[in-house]
Amino acid sequence: MIGIIVVSHAKLAMEFLETVRLIMGEQKDFIGISFSSKESIETLRSKIFSAIEPYRASGCLLLTDVLGGSCTNVCTELLSIGTIRILTGVNLPMILEAIQHRENLELETLSQKVRAGAIRGILDLKEFYEEKQKRKT
């Protein structure tokens, strides 16, 4: 199974794990890594490298919080590993998409689907409901 690892500053990753448990129940091979201001980059690197180890053969999707941040910057060191994909801008819709489809898709296809799910999950509700209303009439 493709592992899913959420890497974030502060407690965001852990809150995503808790939210997913609430919505979908306990998930295997779903890990959160938090980075605090009290930790060194070496500590973060160690946590990430340890977390991906079980998935080097089966594949791993890393979801990070923000491009240019420490979490993403450390993950870029893994770009040369063919069994790892990294997406930035993590949000709940993309995590749910990843969990729902990771058993049926190859890593590259899963990465594309998760990215598309993240984008679909961002809506201006006023526009959304106005468009929906127009289609009814």
The domains of the chain are located at: 3-136
Confidence at residue 137, expressed as pLDDT on a 0 to 100 scale: 80
Confidence at residue 92, expressed as pLDDT on a 0 to 100 scale: 96
Strand partners, 32: 6
Full-model pTM: 0.93
43, 38, 59, 44: which is closest to 7 by C-alpha?
44
Distance of alpha carbon 12 from alpha carbon 63, whole angstroms: 12
Confidence at residue 9, expressed as pLDDT on a 0 to 100 scale: 98
Confidence at residue 135, expressed as pLDDT on a 0 to 100 scale: 92
Q: What secondary structure letter does DSSP report for 105?
A: S
Q: Between the CA of residue 68 and those of 8, 75, 132, what are the distances in Å?
A: 12, 11, 37
Cβ neighbours of residue 114 under 8 Å, at least 6 residues apart? 61, 63, 87, 94, 97, 98, 101
Instruction: Report, at the CATH architecture level, how domain 3-136 is classified.
Output: 3-Layer(aba) Sandwich (3.40)
Per-residue pLDDT of the chain (137 residues; tens, 9 = 90+): 999 999 999 999 999 999 999 999 999 999 999 999 999 999 999 999 999 999 999 999 999 999 999 999 999 999 999 999 999 999 999 999 999 999 999 999 999 999 999 999 999 999 999 999 999 88
For 34, the 3-state DSSP assignment is: strand
Confidence at residue 94, expressed as pLDDT on a 0 to 100 scale: 97
